Amino acid sequence: MKNKLQQNISNKKLVEIKNLIVHYETDDGVVEAVNNVSFDIEKGEVLGLVGETGAGKTTIALSIMNLLPKPPAHVISGEIYLEGQDLMKKSKKELQKIRGKKISMVFQDPMTALNPVQTVGAQIAEVIQLHNSSMAPSEIKEHAVKMLETVGIPGTRYNDYPHQFSGGMKQRVVIAIALACEPELIIADEPTTALDVTIQAQVLELMKQLQKKFGTAMLLITHDFGVVADICNKCAVIYAGEIVEKGRVEHIFDHPMHPYTIGLFDSLPTMDKDVERLKPIKGAVADPTQLPPYCSFYDRCDYCTEECKRQNPALKEVEPGHFVKCIHEVRGKGDEDHGAD
Amino acid sequence: MLWYIVKRILYVIPVMLGVLIIVFALKSIMPGDPVDMILPTTATAEEREAKREELGLNDPIIVQFVDYVKGIVTELDFGTSYKTGQPVSEELMQRFPITFILALGSVLLGTLLAIPLGILSAVKQYTWIDSLILVISMLAVSIPSFWLALMFLSLFSVELGWLPSIYDASLASWIMPVIVIALSAMSGLTRITRSSMLEVIRSDYIRMAQAKGQTEEKIITRHALRNAMIPILAAVGNSLGTQLGGALVIETIFGMPGIGKYITDAISQRNFPAVQGGVILLAFVFTFVNLVVDLSYTFVDPRLKGTIVTGTKRKKKAAAA
């Protein structure tokens, strides 16, 4: 294993995704959910994956876990490396050892993510027991109680069932499960979307603290730039299954360069300006069953030219660490206020 | 919980009264006279009239009803059989265990077959295994059980001589009737297990269990099955109730002196006390089975405990927490 690690030059990289293409084959045609996506996450780093509903964010997350529902999903091509090892080539058994231990996941909807007929304690203990087979039952329970307390739930509630918890507390339990084995990477799939705003803030704060405390890397999937500004180091904006812009959070927030990212920022309400209407991006999301051979944002773009219809541009590095998938070097002005909330 | 059980048992009383009213109503519109069945054809009109008076058949139907209920409530007297002159309760108690064991045994066997088949069918959805199980359960539900029973008889009793063709209280004579009923009970339960499992294995907590690194077998047994259990339990309870009253054909073919056969004979003989007693017993057992099924839900799904455990107890728990 050490050899393999050494073989990989960039062993600072925890996760590396290369040219991932995932299609869903349905009766109504082939849905091109993820198209040629590449990114990497370093140890202890938080990457925000931002995009609209249906942009392919969850599909990417499930690909990393190798939990895509097959059929209808098909991984057409791509490689996913965890610490230099290709996850796509792992057997079921090996994957089961990685899931929960090396990579864990926080799901979008805490209402349905917990098994309703098991106590929350048992559900935390399950993941501990799976990856620490030598631990005695009493130790496992002790650890599970500690995890509950880590996420701010009294240990006395170990034997309670999920229906006795509120939504925010359930999400805390899910986070406790995700952190129980101190994984290298947490994939958080819209962890606050199903919660109301005050609870969102609490859960986010908790995740931020725990991420710092455990030094875990995180892939945070969201459609909320506020969340990204709050806890991410890096950010990737995804549109119609493609990364259209990625870079450090400062790059994206200070001067977004892809028309889509600029459009997203323009459509956010600002606190200092009194505006009657928000400025939406015109048109609707590209139909993932009929993506054009040229730039998929063409129909909605304010900057498009004839040139845009001739090619599907590749990501290009406009400054160190800042990649944009656009032939025009538009330089949008980001608004620092968005980061403030 | 105890209060809930008591309440549910008290519900049995209006159900029984309803059942009795229907049985009495049927009796008054049913053609034929029980006296014809009891007395020889040579009996005179006076003798018939005397017998009718003795049995209380000349009283208004309301009076008959009140007398009957009074007999049950005060001395657990279900009347005497017109045919044998024996107390109906005794005759029923001799026959009931046979029907009950037959129903319980076959539904149990059917369930034990159905749950693994249903799970397999759900896990291997749209594969040849799923189709094969579909064909098996379709066959099991479409083959009439009397035909299957006869085929079994001709194969295992007549051709091979392995099993007795007529019930003789030996263990071997139970095998065929139990299997025949179990097969018909199995098919429906398999379909229900399959659809219930399919619904559950698509839910988020199953994906969560996968994300924890749990093995597929344990995801099915620990996470999915228990969540899928409620519709299955309901169907098992229903099936048990149906088999209790509906095992008549099989009882007749295998010559088993069970309740189904007893009631059918009683109906054709206009043996009213026997019919009434039998129907009441079945209705009671049916309601009781339903109660047991309902209570078993609370062991499967902790969310239901809240609705069944009484309010005071919940408050106490909340205060403690």
Domain ranges of chain B: 11-75, 94-262
pLDDT digits (tens, 9 = 90+) for B72-87: 888 878 888 878 878 8
Nearest to A18 by CA among A92, A80, A97: A80
pLDDT of residue A200 exceeding 90, the answer is no
Q: Are A115 and B215 in contact (CB < 8 Å)?
A: no
**Neighboring chain A residues of B213 at a CB cutoff of 8 Å:** 95-101, 127, 130-131
Interchain contact A161–B (C-beta under 8 A): yes
Topology classification of domain B94-262: MetI-like fold (1.10.3720)
- Region A130-153 average pLDDT: 86
For B239-248, write each residue's pLDDT tens digit.
Answer: 888 888 767 7
pLDDT reading at B313 higher than 50? no
User: Cα distance from A276 to chain B (closest Cα, Å)?
Assistant: 40
pLDDT at B161: 82
Residue A341, pLDDT above cutoff 70: no
pLDDT at B53: 81
Averaged pLDDT, A222-238: 86
Distance (Å) from the C-alpha of residue B112 to the closest C-alpha of chain A? 22
User: Would the CB atoms of A130 and B210 count as touching at under 8 Å?
Assistant: no
Task: Please list every residue in chain A whose beta carbon sits closer than 8 Å to the beta carbon of residue B211.
Answer: 65, 67, 99-100, 104-105, 107
CB–CB contacts below 8 A, A to B: 77
Q: Kindly report the nearest CA distance between residue A21 and chain B, in angstroms.
A: 22
Does the distance separating the beta carbons of A67 and B204 come in below 8 Å? no
Report d(CA B25, CA B31) in Å as an integer.
12
CA–CA separation, A234 and A321 (whole Å):
10
Kindly list the residues from chain A whose CB atom is less than 8 angstroms away from the CB atom of residue B208.
105, 107, 113-115, 174, 177
Higher-pLDDT residue of A311 and B148 is B148
Distance, in Å, from the CA atom of B160 to the CA atom of B152, rounded to the nearest integer, reads: 10
Query: Could you tell me which chain B residue has the CA closest to the CA of A176?
Result: B212
**What ipTM was assigned to the predicted interfaces of this complex?**
0.80
Share of chain B above pLDDT 90, in %: 15
Interface test with B, best of A91, A117, A158, A160 (most B CBs within 10 A): A117
Residues 6+ apart with CB under 8 A from B13: none
CA–CA separation, A148 and A181 (whole Å)? 13
Which two structure tokens, joined as six digits, stand for A8? Answer: 């990989």
> Is the Cβ pair B303, A163 closer than 8 Å?
yes
- Judge: B213–A97 Cβ closer than 8 Å, yes or no: yes
Residues in chain B with CB shorter than 8 Å from the CB of A183 are none
- The answer to whether the predicted template modeling score (pTM) of the entire model surpasses 0.80 is no
The larger pLDDT score, comparing residue A9 to residue A169, is at A169
Mutate to test the interface with B, among A115, A128, A132 (most CBs of B within 10 A): A115
Helix (H), strand (E) at residue B193: helix B172-201
Among the partner residues A65, A98, A112, nearest to B204 by beta-carbon distance = A112
For residue B98, is pLDDT > 70?
yes
The verdict on a CB contact (< 8 Å) between A156 and B205 is no
* Cβ neighbours of A158 in B, within 8 Å: none
- CA–CA distance from A28 to each of A24, A25, A134, A289, B271 (Å)? 10, 8, 49, 8, 65
**Residue A90 in contact with partner chain B when CB distance is under 8 A:** no
- What is the least distance, in Å, from the CA of A322 to any CA of chain B? 32
> What does residue A85 show for φ and ψ, rounded to 5 degrees?
-110, 135
Stretch A35-56: mean pLDDT: 85
Confidence of residue B31 (pLDDT cuts 50, 70, 90): confident
Flag whether pLDDT at A338 surpasses 50: no
Asked if the Cβ–Cβ distance from B303 to A67 is below 8 Å, we say no
* Residues B132-186: tens digit of each pLDDT: 999 998 888 888 888 988 998 889 888 888 888 888 878 888 889 899 989 888 9
Q: Flag whether residue A23 sits within 8 Å of chain B, measured between CB atoms.
A: no
Flag whether pLDDT at B15 surpasses 70: yes
Residue A79 at interface with chain B, using a CB cutoff of 8 Å: no
Q: Distance from A105 to chain B by nearest Cα, in Å?
A: 6
pLDDT reported for residue A11:
53
Q: Cα distance from B80 to chain A (closest Cα, Å)?
A: 51
Query: How near does any CA of chain B get to the CA of A67, in Å?
Result: 8
Q: Do B301 and A174 touch (CB under 8 A)?
A: no
On whether any CB of chain B is under 8 Å from the CB of A159, the answer is no
**Confidence tier at B306 by pLDDT (50, 70, 90):** low
For chain B, say whether A156 makes contact (Cβ under 8 Å). Answer: yes
**Beta-carbon separation of B223 and A118 below 8 A:** yes
